[in-house]
Structure 1
């Protein structure tokens, strides 16, 4: 099972001007640095929580439909199933009809239940599921606590830009950041 980002977000949940205001910075000499810190902080929040903050497209490649006939989509929230493609033994692509599967986009993780298994499929990466995930197209669509977690992480990384030794750690993550994202982490039994 491989999950690949096929379409990156077109915006960030936090703007450079919002971050500069939070950092109490004037001028534009460090805008490029702040822009990079925002992107890195968003990616870190997404990695730690399993969320897609701003709309983005993903492809899940599987060798086969699981025995349970249920495929889990490990990005949340899933907004749309774009396409399900099965590859035959000779590599020919065939779109799987939407009537052959049922999508549960409310659950976390989102699920696809296959009513009819596409077969025969090639042995490796025989099934691809393309989907769109995210809270929306712009920063205000993202939960406020996650936007603030990004700002806290940007500020922390901005302040501690120099290198630190192992005996001076942890400086990578402020404690309030961990508390802010804790409620959004995907918990499993």
Structure 2
């Protein structure tokens, strides 16, 4: 499976002010509100968001993704690797010989479950994917376009993690998740099945 993020959260949606206030409260020192410092804080926030999303499978700020599979994992229903999914924009089947066919909405439906969204067939099974072909799903996922839309515990986890990255520049490369952050995101974590069928492998 390949999963590509096609859009990124706009800089204006990042809680730079909230992170600056958190750092000031923790240190007692004011963090300069200049362009260079804001860019640095935004970078730490993006890193923290990516970490929290990777650990939970939840997309915090709305954006578009493209998932490509060698084949459906199960023709009775294909789980999506991220949640919450707002909409599936298109599904395309490539026959491996240069012909790409877009599946009309009459062939499938989205079940937008908060934990495991899934694409179900409109009929009995999802359409056949040729052996040398692939299927691509373009979808939009996220809690919302604004930081206020992010659940409070996940938002706080991002702020705490970004503050740790800021205060200890070597911390960003650490594999250890701080206990407080891990506790905040625990209820959002899930075991995710991402790949296509085992017989076709992953790429």
TM-score by length of 2: 0.80
Q: Distance in 2 between matches of 1:171 and 1:100?
A: 42
1:113 deviates by 1.4
Aligned 8 A contact 2:83 2:142 in 1? yes
**In 2, Cα distance between equivalents of 1:179 and 1:153:** 12
Deviation at 1:129, TM superposition (A): 0.7
Question: Paired residue for 2:184?
Answer: 180
Partner of 2:127: 118
1:109 paired residue among 116, 120, 123: 116
Q: Is residue 158 of structure 1 aligned with residue 166 of structure 2?
A: yes
Aligned length in residues: 182
Alignment partners' CA distance in 1, 2:38 and 2:139: 33
Q: CA RMSD in A?
A: 2.4
Q: 1:54–1:149: structure 2 CA closer, same or farther, 3 Å change rule?
A: same
The aligned counterpart of 1:43 is 50
Q: Which residue of 1 aligns with 2:7?
A: 7
Match of 1:26 among 25, 28, 31: 31
Change (3 A) 1:121 1:88: same
CA distance in 1 between counterparts of 2:175 and 2:131 reads 47
SS at match of 2:48: helix
C-alpha separation between the residues in 1 aligned to 2:169 and 2:126? 52
Structure 1 residue 69 and structure 2 residue 76: aligned? Answer: yes
| Contact map agreement 2:75 2:127 (CA 8 A) in 1 | no
Shift of 1:97: 1.3
Equivalent residues of 1:60, 1:129 under 8 A apart:
yes
Q: Residue 13 and residue 174 in structure 1: after superposition, are their counterparts in 2 closer, same or farther (change >3 A)?
A: farther
CA distance in 2, matches of 1:100, 1:171: 42
SS at the partner of 2:79? strand
The equivalent of 1:148 in structure 2 is 156
Change (3 A) 1:13 1:186: farther
Structure 1 residue matching 2:153: 3-state secondary structure = helix
TM-score by length of 1: 0.85
